[in-house]
Amino acid sequence: MAGRTAALSDQERVRREKLEALRALGVEPYGGRFERTHTAARFHEQFGGMSAEALEARPIAVRMAGRMMQKRRQGKAGFAHLQDMTGRFQIYLRQDVLGDTAYEVYKLADIGDIFGVEGTVFRTKTGELTVLVRQFVLLAKSLRPLPEKFHGLKDVELRYRKRYLDLIMNPDVLRTFLLRSKIVRALRSILDAEGFVEVETPTLQPIPGGAAARPFVTYHNALDMEMYLRIAIELHLKRLIVGGIEKVYEIGRVYRNEGVSTKHNPEFTMLELYQAYADFTDIMALTESLIARVAEEAVGTTRIVYQGQPIDLTPPYRRAHMVDLIREATGVDFFRPMSVDEARALARAHGVEVAPHMTVGHIINEFFEQKVEASLIQPTFVYGHPVEISPLAKKNAADPRFTDRFELYIAGREHANAFSELNDPIDQRERFLAQLKERELGNEEAHRMDEDFLEALEVGMPPTGGLGIGVDRLVMLLADQPSIRDVLLFPHMRHAPKEG
RNA sequence: GAGCCAUUAGCUCAGAGGUAGAGCACCUGACUUUUAAUCAGGGUGUCGCAGGUUCGAAUCCUGCAUGGCUCACCA
């Protein structure tokens, strides 16, 4: 890190000199616990309605703490603003009230230092609620200058790499992460209230499964085996359904070894839940209710605006078959039985790109992704995914080319994926075998054979509805953030910065 | 992985072949109700890195690094 090897900047040198000056005054620059009576928010709530006269007539003592963000000294007195997690408050310091030593500490104070104060509440001439400080305690000396007070920290790279500076300087950023916390809390409390059991399952797995994605590979020394970071939670939760935990969920990190973008981070947070004796229509109802209730709880409304676009999250959501949507958009009717060659010809004619391993079902999905997906702004349940791209979903009873599966699209992005879980172990084995063929044809993301999971299914899994929700995307939507990096405290960056 | 753009003081940014700039921050001094405090003075720098062109490069060229955006893959 810079400070250690590189020469100190001028400002860093000055701050270290002040550190010594403080010690010479007998002041310890790194203090201990400091009991507070008020946060900034509570301070403004409680005293905001009181007049200068009322405050003067009956002085109220407070103890508060925070990081110094502004300092305005004028000779033998001065002001400063301290910032805590809830906001800022002003303090007023006078040499004749504080005494010479404490006032000297104020004179040596830098933007970024953390102080505890004790004093009484008053209003200044300009009306600002302020603490007249009687006791001024240095709790932590800051040895590096903070970003500029007016423009703040704008450099996107620095904001992500040094998120603590971003949080100090940009109140909106803190708000976004507090909202994220609220959203996750709301998801938990709603599911808990619905009788779902929260569990934790392995993230290190011998066979990665439950999704189509390339895994991260790692190595277990003692067991002398390769292991994978999980790409989904699915297969373990279904084992728990087999085990009799009839309503089960997990909110956890999954890892996919793929590109980084404004919409993708190599590790992201999924909510997966499974409900025995339900099917995908039950899950649809649960999904829209869950999203609406989370929106109500986190942002207070289901009528939100995302990146300038009004979006109404009030249930019920539109339901549309994938094939109908493709027909609306392109005129192509995939309900009509057709050969792979026919489907490929249609793809060529409509400029839809296809890969060598693709069969009719894959091509239908490509049509959907390339021609329909981006236009689904209002919440839409797209159901009836082709069986080839849904190796873990039950086939539709009336038309086995498709599955009882849906994805929820909002703002042109997939927000949820759900289906009636395939509980026929014979069919599941055939699906895995078909996936293995795809793998041989070059689809690296095809599902692997998982004998242990098949064994669980053979014991018998009740009919089950399952759901996965991308929590980061839900936060992006509700927090109106355009990039996944703005809802991850420490998003992945290409490389660590060089030494020095 | 590809294309486009960016990288100059602690931070936010100007400068487009000829002595390295501004605001904030910082340093010195003044100031006991200020609030982007004010006033007087002070520039603190490996112009991302490495080569090249040139009498001379922050500026032009090449490569590299990092980041952003778009695309590809995915959720």
Contact of A230 with A202, CB cutoff 8 Å: yes
Average pLDDT over residues A455-475: 97
pTM confidence score:
0.92
Contact of A386 with A407, CB cutoff 8 Å: no
Kindly indicate the confidence band of residue A1, based on its pLDDT and cuts at 50, 70 and 90.
very low
Q: State the CATH class of domain A168-317+378-486.
A: alpha beta
Distance CA A193, CA A427 (A): 35
pLDDT given at position A154: 87
Kindly indicate the confidence band of residue A445, based on its pLDDT and cuts at 50, 70 and 90.
confident
pLDDT given at position A150: 83
Q: How many CB atoms lie within 10 A of CB A498?
A: 5
Q: Chain-wide mean pLDDT for chain A?
A: 93
pLDDT given at position A5: 36
Calculate the angstrom distance between C1' of B23 and CA of A259: 40
Is A407 annotated as contributing to ligand binding?
Answer: yes
**Hey, CA dihedral for A273, A278, A284, A289, is it positive or negative?**
negative
A221 touches strand B (CB under 7 A): no
Kindly indicate the confidence band of residue A6, based on its pLDDT and cuts at 50, 70 and 90.
very low
| pLDDT tens track for A122-132 | 999 999 999 99
Calculate the angstrom distance between C1' of B57 and CA of A153: 31
**Residues 363-392 of chain A in contact with strand B via CB under 7 angstroms:** 369
Kindly indicate the confidence band of residue A151, based on its pLDDT and cuts at 50, 70 and 90.
confident
pLDDT given at position A411: 92
pLDDT given at position A496: 60
Contact of A255 with A229, CB cutoff 8 Å: yes
Is A45 annotated as contributing to ligand binding?
Answer: no
| pLDDT tens track for A251-272 | 999 999 888 888 889 999 999 9
A212 touches strand B (CB under 7 A): yes
Calculate the angstrom distance between C1' of B51 and CA of A499: 23
Q: State the CATH class of domain A10-146.
A: mainly beta
Calculate the angstrom distance between C1' of B50 and CA of A2: 22
**Residues 297-336 of chain A in contact with strand B via CB under 7 angstroms:** none
A151: burial class by Cβ within 10 Å (0-12, 13-18, 19+)?
exposed
Q: How many CB atoms lie within 10 A of CB A29?
A: 20
A452: burial class by Cβ within 10 Å (0-12, 13-18, 19+)?
exposed
Calculate the angstrom distance between C1' of B5 and CA of A211: 36
pLDDT given at position A443: 85
State the amino acid at position A311 in one-letter form. Answer: I
Domain boundaries of chain A, sorted by first residue: 10-146, 168-317+378-486
Give strand letter and number of the nucleotide nearest A365 (CA to C1'). B74
Nucleotides in B strand less than 7 A from protein CB? 1, 9-13, 23-27, 30-38, 44-45, 65-75
Q: Tell me, what's the ipTM? A: 0.89
Contact of A149 with A68, CB cutoff 8 Å: no
Assess whether pLDDT exceeds 80 at residue A497: no
pLDDT given at position A313: 97
Token output for A351: 């400029």
A119 touches strand B (CB under 7 A): no
Sheet holding A405-410, edge to edge: A197-198, A247-255, A267-276, A464-470, A413-420, A405-410, A380-383, A318-321
Give the per-residue SS3 of chain A: CHHHHCCCCHHHHHHHHHHHHHHHCCCCCECCCCCCCCCHHHHHHHHCCCCHHHHHHCCCEEEEEEEEEEEEEECCEEEEEEEECCEEEEEEEEHHHHCHHHHHHHHHCCCCCEEEEEEEEEECCCCCEEEEEEEEEEEECCCCCCCCCCCCCCCHHHHHHCHHHHHHHCHHHHHHHHHHHHHHHHHHHHHHHCCCEECCCCCEECCCCCCCCCCCEEEECCCCEEEEECCCCHHHHHHHHHCCCCEEEEEEEEECCCCCECCECCEEEEEEEEEECCCHHHHHHHHHHHHHHHHHHHHCCCEEEECCEEEECCCCCEEEEHHHHHHHHHCCCCCCCCCHHHHHHHHHHCCCCCCCCCCHHHHHHHHHHHHHHHHCCCCEEEECCEHHHCCCECECCCCCCEECEEEEEECCEEEEEEEEECCCHHHHHHHHHHHHHHHHCCCCCCCCCCHHHHHHHHHCCCCEEEEEEEHHHHHHHHHCCCCHHHCCCCCCCCCCCCCC
Assess whether pLDDT exceeds 60 at residue A499: no
Q: Do domains A10-146 and A168-317+378-486 have the same CATH topology?
A: no
Give strand letter and number of the nucleotide nearest A132 (CA to C1'). B33
Distance CA A388, CA A237 (A): 22
Assess whether pLDDT exceeds 90 at residue A295: yes
- Cα A45–chain centre separation: 30
A104 touches strand B (CB under 7 A): no
* Interacting residues of A439 by C-beta distance below 8 A, sequence separation 6+: A446, A448
| pLDDT tens track for A35-56 | 999 999 999 999 999 999 999 9
Kindly indicate the confidence band of residue A2, based on its pLDDT and cuts at 50, 70 and 90.
very low
Listed residue (A283, A287, A276, A186) closest to A240, CA to CA: A276
Give strand letter and number of the nucleotide nearest A112 (CA to C1'). B25
Give strand letter and number of the nucleotide nearest A149 (CA to C1'). B24
Beta bridge partners of A371: none
Assess whether pLDDT exceeds 50 at residue A498: no
State the amino acid at position A166 in one-letter form. Answer: D
Assess whether pLDDT exceeds 80 at residue A307: yes
Contact of A304 with A295, CB cutoff 8 Å: yes
Give strand letter and number of the nucleotide nearest A128 (CA to C1'). B35
**Residues 2-61 of chain A in contact with strand B via CB under 7 angstroms:** 9-11, 14, 18
Which residue, counting CA atoms, is nearest to the C1' of nucleotide B39? Answer: A74
Q: How many CA atoms lie within 13 A of A477 on its CB side?
A: 30
pLDDT given at position A195: 97
A152 touches strand B (CB under 7 A): yes
- A188 versus A494: which is more confidently predicted? A188
Kindly indicate the confidence band of residue A495, based on its pLDDT and cuts at 50, 70 and 90.
low
| pLDDT tens track for A349-385 | 998 888 888 899 999 999 999 899 989 999 999 999 9
Q: How many CA atoms lie within 13 A of A406 on its CB side?
A: 24
Assess whether pLDDT exceeds 90 at residue A478: yes
Assess whether pLDDT exceeds 50 at residue A142: yes
Token output for A204: 């290190």
Listed residue (A204, A283, A334, A267) closest to A470, CA to CA: A267
Listed residue (A257, A237, A253, A256) closest to A245, CA to CA: A237
A72 touches strand B (CB under 7 A): yes
